[in-house]
A and B are shown apart, each in its own frame.
Chain A
Amino acid sequence: MNQGTYSVLSNINIAKDVYKMILGGDTSQITAPGQFINIKLDGLYLRRPISICDFDENSITIIYKVVGAGTELMSRFEAYKNLDVLVGLGNGFDISKSGDRPLLIGGGVGVPPMYYLCKALLEKGVSPTVILGFNSAEDVFYEKKFKKLGVPVYVATVDGSCGIKGFVTDVVPLVGEYSYFYTCGPLPMFKAVYKTCITSGQFSFEERMGCGFGACMGCTCKTKYGNKRICKDGPVLEKEEIIW
């Protein structure tokens, strides 16, 4: 974990209520796809945890949806604003378990961590299949970015206004065989994925956090492997350990 000052390089609207922010600063503490950062915002007490979508040597890309006071404030940030950020939090996805044909399943603002995960798998020589789920066409983002990586990408929308009509789990039977899965998204989607996907896999959970680095026990959940703090021992849990 690194605590530092990160500078907003850009902050743009990419879908309905969804923004992409690029932050400049040290990324040496990011060790796995699926980790998150925790941002201090002026006037709000608790930091806001946001998953890492992508990063390079000196910048971090995050994608967030405006859902409350914190993200609303963030959506108005302009370039050059400096932020106090904790970087490299959480365990992240374990790509060693992917097998040769993993599925990446992202729903809504669960899509962003799938992007760097996809890049990391490709770098390892593994080509994943990507399924992105949204409510409607106006919510869709990053379809082209994933396609540019050269992997098969399926988009599902609940209302059918873009891609396949239905849920991500309606797409799973269409993609053929897969070796493993990685997923991030809302809880109802998780439960459907858990039932639909026959292989082993990893789920990246969300929970209200106090600190984001394991101190307060505010986000603890029960697993078959014992109590786990979503912020420190998660956010990624393995399918076999989850207690719904």
Chain B
Amino acid sequence: MVNTKVTLSGITLDNPVIPASGTFGFGYEFADIYDINILGSISCKGTTKDSRFGNPTPRIAECTMGLINSVGLQNPGIDKVVSEELPKLSKVYSKPVIANISGFSIDDYAYTCEKIDSQPQVGIIEVNISCPNVHNGGMSFGTDPNTALAVTKAVKAVTTKPVYIKLSPNVTDITEIAKACEQGGADGISLINTLMGMRINLKTKKPVIANKMGGFSGPAILPVAVRMVYQVFEAVKIPIIGMGGISTAEDVIEMMLAGASAVQVGAANLVDPCACKTIIENLPAVMQKYGIDSLQDIIGGSHNG
């Protein structure tokens, strides 16, 4: 019997598989498809201080082995998330969840974080400083070590829950940003968010996406994600939630060998609503195939010494 349990900042997950923010809503709609209590945890839809419609459509573009999205943080705002969305999720999901928050100023982040801090079902707060689809916010906080540090400090000051900072791959040196977050008191790092991308329609000769550019995700970006998780693992001591193109149980193991303590599955949920379920079901057999008794033991296993 293999052991799929992993621990994140003192919270034990039955397995490391977590649907990524923005690909699973607030989870409850997937409860109609399968028993979502099999999931390690759920990273909820990115939440901001005020409600947001997001960007104009088209927001989606097909790519080879992936897609570009420019949803733009559509969400009902923190108050409705607390009063409506999280209670709906708690009816169908009994484990601690990851609340994903975003903002347009450091005060925004702190405000939203403080409100979410009071929710007992929230086990971890994931702070998105890497959304490529909003102007004057999101990613602009995650591409400079000083602002990454400032956001981290601001949210840490208003919560006692573990804080994971979600990083953008759209930087020259991701280890600098990760180190700044660690220095600011982050309990962990989530990476990677989507890569900035773009498609152009040959018939119209115009960008496919209304917002012109968006975030590229899917299996195509797995090698980039594995590389960045590997680099960040060597740069910081805090745990990493690895994500970017994970679609199979083999991908989960690869990401953990790179240094992830748990993983998130994003784009795969959109093409296969049962993607996470299938990965979780396949994990024990794939672990056995590669002689792995406990997933906790393989974290960072690809690093020398």
A217 & B271 in contact (Cβ 8 Å cutoff): no
In Å, the complex CA distance between A211 and B274 comes to: 12
Interface residues of B in 131-177 (CB under 8 A from A): none
Min CB distance, B221 to chain A, in Å? 12
Min CB distance, A47 to chain B, in Å? 6
In Å, the complex CA distance between A221 and B210 comes to: 13
Q: Answer whether A46 and B67 are a contact pair too, CB < 8 Å, given A86-B273, A208-B60.
A: yes
A217 & B54 in contact (Cβ 8 Å cutoff): yes
In the complex, which of the residues A45, A213, A216, A221 contacts B65, with contact meaning CB atoms closer than 8 Å? Answer: A45
Q: What mask results when residues 40 to 67 of chain B are scored 1 for a CB within 8 Å of chain A, else 0? A: 0000010000000110011111111111
Most A Cβ at <10 Å: residue of B25, B30, B32: B25
**B89: CB under 8 A from chain A?**
no
In the complex, which of the residues B29, B60, B272 contacts A209, with contact meaning CB atoms closer than 8 Å? Answer: B60
In the complex, which of the residues A40, A86, A216, A227 contacts B60, with contact meaning CB atoms closer than 8 Å? Answer: A216
In Å, the complex CA distance between A209 and B271 comes to: 11
**B1: CB under 8 A from chain A?**
no
**B121: CB under 8 A from chain A?**
no
B57 & A215 in contact (Cβ 8 Å cutoff): no
**B24: CB under 8 A from chain A?**
yes
Which A residues are CB-close (under 8 A) to B219?
45
| Nearest opposing residue in chain A for B72, CB measure | A217
Which B residues are CB-close (under 8 A) to A208?
57-61, 208
In Å, the complex CA distance between A217 and B26 comes to: 12
**B4: CB under 8 A from chain A?**
no
Which B residues are CB-close (under 8 A) to A219?
57, 59-60
B30 & A215 in contact (Cβ 8 Å cutoff): yes
Q: What mask results when residues 5 to 24 of chain B are scored 1 for a CB within 8 Å of chain A, else 0? A: 00000000000000000111
**A5: CB under 8 A from chain B?**
no
A210 & B60 in contact (Cβ 8 Å cutoff): yes
Contact residues on A (Cβ < 8 Å of other chain), bracket: 20 to 34
B64 & A220 in contact (Cβ 8 Å cutoff): no
**B125: CB under 8 A from chain A?**
no
B60 & A215 in contact (Cβ 8 Å cutoff): no
B58 & A217 in contact (Cβ 8 Å cutoff): no
Which A residues are CB-close (under 8 A) to B53?
220, 222, 227
A216 & B273 in contact (Cβ 8 Å cutoff): no
Which B residues are CB-close (under 8 A) to A46?
60, 62, 67, 270-271
In Å, the complex CA distance between A211 and B266 comes to: 11
B54 & A216 in contact (Cβ 8 Å cutoff): no
A45 & B60 in contact (Cβ 8 Å cutoff): no
| Nearest opposing residue in chain B for A86, CB measure | B273
Q: What mask results when residues 192 to 208 of chain B are scored 1 for a CB within 8 Å of chain A, else 0? A: 00000000000000001
Which B residues are CB-close (under 8 A) to A215?
23-25, 29-30, 269-270, 273
Min CB distance, A218 to chain B, in Å? 4
**A241: CB under 8 A from chain B?**
no
Q: Which residues of B contact A (CB under 8 A)?
A: 22-25, 29-30, 32-33, 45, 53-54, 57-67, 69, 71, 74, 208, 218-219, 267, 269-274
Could you jot down 12 A-B contacts, CB within 8 Å?
A3-B273, A40-B272, A47-B271, A84-B272, A207-B58, A208-B59, A209-B60, A211-B23, A215-B29, A215-B273, A219-B60, A220-B59
Known contacts A210-B270, A217-B22, A220-B53; 4 additional CB pairs below 8 A are: A45-B271, A84-B272, A215-B273, A217-B74
